[in-house]
Chains A and B, each alone.
Chain A
Amino acid sequence: MSTEQETAVSTDQRSSGLFSSVTRWMENLSETQYAYLLLLPVFVILGSIALWPLLKTFEFSLFSDSLVGTSRVGEFVGLKNYVDLWTGQKDAILPGTTTFISFSAPFQSAVIVTLIFTVVSVFFETLIGFAQALILDQDFRGRRWVRVAIIIPWAVPIVIQGMIFFLMFRSGVGFATAPLQDLGLLAPTQPLNDSASALLIIIVADVWKTSAFMALLILAGLQSIDRGLYDVARVAGASKWQQFKLITFPLILPTIAVAMLFRTVAAMRVYGIIDTVSKCEVVPSLSCMVVATFQTRYGTSGAIAFSTAFIIGIFVSVIIYQRAKEGI
């Protein structure tokens, strides 16, 4: 019996060669071995394109900049780049009059600009997204088309989003500049070259594009609420406002918190919209500063990049902790 099987195996191997022996080898792996085998491509690509660069960036950040010669970095300086960066001694290297962190000119400071952008845009995206989600949660004719209209800004390429707002607010073309200047909201000349005005315009652009994402997440939360609760409330004589306050809002709050965390992490990477609408010298975000310095100063740029990753990492660990608590 066993010899018979062996002969069968050997003829099989001879006839179809490598492929069948690989298949046979895979059939005999344990579930754990098989799982790790199939995950191998993921390990390779995430390891080489994400994990390795992250470690390497940290390594770069521990060396001084190399301004002459062909080597990427100079001598080992430990955490000096970080100390210099956070105490303002690297500000001269940064483009224009921008600083890394400085409270005297907040709209020129990379850390503060990034935080203002994140907090303000996530706040308004949540408000607007919530309102949009409440609308999409209703049943009405043409709901499908309203949903398409609300999603479309999310799908617009960043460079086109930037172009739209550039054309809206560019002095001499844009219709939006003059009335807002009269109200004192934008700088009197060339608002796209004024730090505070340009930041405001960029926040508006981001809110326009990403509220839809917020709306979709919140809508999913709304639709998972047990409709029976509303029937009970109606029978008990609760008004629409009471139903919202006592059922919808408390039940949707965890979803909103998760969605806000997601958006916070994404908003802190802001780069493309700044590059298109304005300039990195005018609205310095953290990613902007990395791009502006990276080709000549690997040490400094590495320190900025890793600081950015660290700040975002704090929020990421909150998300990861929550997921781990829920069991993935």
Chain B
Amino acid sequence: MHEPDQDLTKLGLPELAAHHEEAPSKPGNTIFDTQNVSIYYGSFKAVTDVSLSIYENEITAFIGPSGCGKTTVLRTLNRMNDLIPTARVEGNVTYRGEALYAPAVSATAVRRHIGMVFQKPNPFPKSIYDNVAYGPRINGERKKARLDEIVERSLRHAALWEEVKDRLSKSGLSLSGGQAQRLCIARTLAVEPDVILMDEPCSALDPIATGRIEDLMHEIKSQYTIVIVTHNMQQAARVSDRTAFYSVLRDEKSDVRTGTLVEYDLTENIFANPRDPRTQAYVTGRVGLGSTRLAA
């Protein structure tokens, strides 16, 4: 069991300390801005009242217990929730100042700027080469030489090139879990998005593969803005500049659970000096108290 006053180094704070200098004191351009965003599935309100800003060339982590809506919020940022017929978003979401849910905005165009890496690696049942070339091809790139260049650059960027350069024509399904996830990252990098959303990208991977992906995130953050959902608080502490803590509000009578944003701040503040007692309870591991107490 966790002691309430446990050693904070166990939460990855040494890394956090090392990481501290990188954390910008002044945020860059605002990439996403959400105001009072609520997300419904049919009549069920899954997430309520989320307001936060995500900044350029930063890694923003979403943490919180299961069912708190972190993934749902992430998927509203590139309109993946559009694929669920009953999903509905209320409130304002802007991307570089443009309203994401304005009627004239095409979800397809949005997703070309805002890529996504999923929890479970999902390479297409095509060759490794075709997996990476898929995005450029649907964007109209036909020249073989140009595609070769994009494939190599993306795979190198995703730290996978050395492992697969001799078998680019093999199926993407032949890769191990960690390699497959890096392939999915390479596939996302190939379309040169502005933002990369990552939905628990390491939850199916071992610690070594996780480490590689975290290193990769650090390498690419100078060119991309990254938003990552994670269940792993050490990971949030290690990789992110800012952290948003989500929690569950439970209605005592109906037992309806709705996710909400509790606290959003620089990562070191969230872990070392949280303002909200719910955040403190979560990051120190005192979550066995149950979501009722947490939501109180």
- A and B interact physically: no
Q: Which residues of B contact A (CB under 8 A)?
A: none
